[in-house]
Amino acid sequence: MPASAPTSSLDFLDGRVLEDPYPVYEAMRRMGPAVYLERHGVWAIPGYGEVRSVLGASGVFGAEGQRALTPLAGTILPFDGEQHARLRRVLAHRLAPRAVARLQGQLEESARRLVAEHTPSGGLDAVVLAREMATSTVMNLMGLPDSTRVPVLNALTAAFTVPDLLGPPAAGVMIEFLAKAVSRSRVQGGSWMDTIFQAVDAGKLDEHEAIPLAAAYATAGIDATVLGLAGTIVQLAHHPEQWSQPREDRARAEAAFHEAVRLHAPIQGLGRFVMEAVDLDGVRLQAGERVWLLIGSAGRDPRRWGLTADVYNLRRPGADKHLSLGAGTHGCPGSHLTLMQARALLRALADGCTTLAPAGTPARAQSHILRGFTAAPIAISTVGWRNRPRRPALASPSEGPR
């Protein structure tokens, strides 16, 4: 690292930073395109443009084993080059837009059932609703028996309490669980697990890779989706003027999700390592150095989003251009599925509930990678706008919960 480069002694794992990282992100963006974090031995990249360029330069920035700030490396396709492409190909067609479009009826039906189940008492927990939606979607697509839904929910709830949610604990819990629960005879024809075992039979995947690959998709597919869906409901509850949009025009549901994950990226940071020395807007990064892409900061960068970057606004032009679903070679393969779930759930809520309002302080997951809630009580009413419950004062009138 050159002596002139911006550096910071900040501890990114400090509880206060985890609670509210946005002032830190703002300070980092002012310091320069890359800031060396002395405590963690990585370059933090805070700006939208720079994060985007790094994600697009997979020949220069590698992903192998680089998913966390701590030594806990993640297990979600943590490879580069042909090894990564080979693994990713296995389920790619199952998550392509056309395949996901065929799931629309099934997801809408599931969302309607869940909303009906969760709303009769005048309140719901957005996290519980989102977790049921994401888990049943992924478990059904995986082709696992219904009896596995409760153990999977329990395993994931336990995994939510560990500090590095994308590291081995969450994926490890899932690998252990799937290794016990899955056998070829219990897997449904046409399911993702079936596709994975077919790839093994065709020699495209080794037998020992089958369960870790399934676990990677299940963990990534459930964890981040729960945070994204629940976070969207929380934002809408704090912004009744925005909630009126998907209520009046169901097509706005997608915008509600994009804005929520731009503002609070469920995955706040992504790790990479420098494969060959490179200049990043005037800061020289050397081969072998590590970078930490601040996705959560990129979503708030006023150079990309203007002076209203901190505001939740469903009419924001180009809101879907956020980087919260990644980009480039490792960009999220589940993005279409996630969007389809968001659309189905928000439309079912819009059909069933006239008002949403926060009903207490949500509990936040403590992680430097994942951002979102572990519980988020919401008051709902189905009786018309005039009778909507009074909302408690917000932390910030424009932004809602941090």
Distance set, CA 87 to CA 167, 183, 187, 348 (Å): 19, 20, 20, 35
Asked if residue 269 binds ligand HEM (CB under 6 A), the reply is no
Minimum CB–partner distance for residue 350 and ligand HEM (Å)? 19
Contacts to ligand HEM from residues 36-75, by CB under 6 A: 63
Beta bridge partners of 379: 123, 357
Neighbours of 402 (CB within 10 A): 15
For 52, the token pair is 């985007």
Is residue 228 a contact point for ligand HEM (CB under 6 A)?
Answer: yes
Give the residue with the Cβ less far from ligand HEM, 225 or 235.
225
What crossing angle do the helices spanning 253-263 and 240-248 adopt, rounded to 10°?
Answer: 150
Residue placing its CB nearer to ligand HEM in the complex, 115 or 261: 261
For ligand HEM, which is the closer residue by CB, 212 or 266?
266
Nearer to ligand HEM, 216 or 359 (CB): 216
Q: Does the protein bind ligand HEM through residue 143 (CB under 6 A)?
A: no
**Look-up: residue for tokens 């389809």?**
340
- Give me the residue label for tokens 């990129």: 298
How distant is the alpha carbon of residue 316 from its chain centre? Answer: 20
375: nearest Cα among 126, 119, 160: 126
> CA-to-CA distance for 234 and 346, rounded, in angstroms?
12
Among 270, 345, 348, 369, binds ligand HEM (CB under 6 A): 270
The answer to whether residue 260 forms part of the interface with ligand HEM (CB under 6 A) is no
* DSSP bridge partners of 8: 37
Q: Which is nearer to ligand HEM, 270 or 283 (CB)?
A: 270
- Nearest approach, Cβ of residue 262 and ligand HEM (Å): 10
Task: Using the Cα atoms of residue 278, residue 281, residue 284 and residue 289 in order, give the sign of their dihedral.
Answer: negative
Which of the stretches 101-109, 222-230, 298-306, 358-366 binds ligand HEM when contact is defined by CB under 6 A?
A: 222-230
Stretch that binds ligand HEM, among 120-128, 233-241, 262-270, 350-358 (CB under 6 A): 262-270
Paired strand residues for 125: 377
The 3-class secondary structure across 267-309, one letter per residue, is ECEEEEEECCCEEECCEEECCCCEEEEEHHHHCCCHHHHHHHC
Cβ proximity to ligand HEM: between 33 and 326 the closer is 326
Q: Closest distance between ligand HEM and the C-beta of residue 74, in Å?
A: 8
Point out which span in 2-10, 195-203, 214-222, 233-241 binds ligand HEM (CB under 6 A): 214-222
Q: Which residue is nearest to ligand HEM (CB)?
A: 334
CA-nearest of 263, 256, 299, 297 to 372 is 263
For position 225 contacting ligand HEM by CB under 6 A, the verdict is: yes
- Three-class DSSP category at 330: helix
Quick note: the x/- pattern for ligand HEM over 171-210, rule CB under 6 A, is ----------------------------------------
Q: From the CB of 210, what's the least distance to ligand HEM, in Å? A: 14
Number of residues that bind ligand HEM (CB under 6 A): 24
Minimum separation from the CB atom of position 77 to ligand HEM (A): 3
Question: Between residue 302 and residue 341, which ones bind ligand HEM under the rule CB under 6 A?
Answer: 324-326, 330, 332-334, 337-338
**Pairwise CA distance, residues 93 & 194, whole Å:** 13
Instruction: Choose between 103 and 359: whose C-beta lies nearer to ligand HEM.
Output: 103
Least Cβ distance, residue 122 to ligand HEM (angstroms): 27
Q: HEC profile for 78-103?
A: CCCHHHHHHHHHHHHCCCCHHHHHCC
Residues that bind ligand HEM (CB under 6 A): 63, 76-77, 88, 216-217, 220-221, 224-225, 228, 261, 266-267, 270, 324-326, 330, 332-334, 337-338
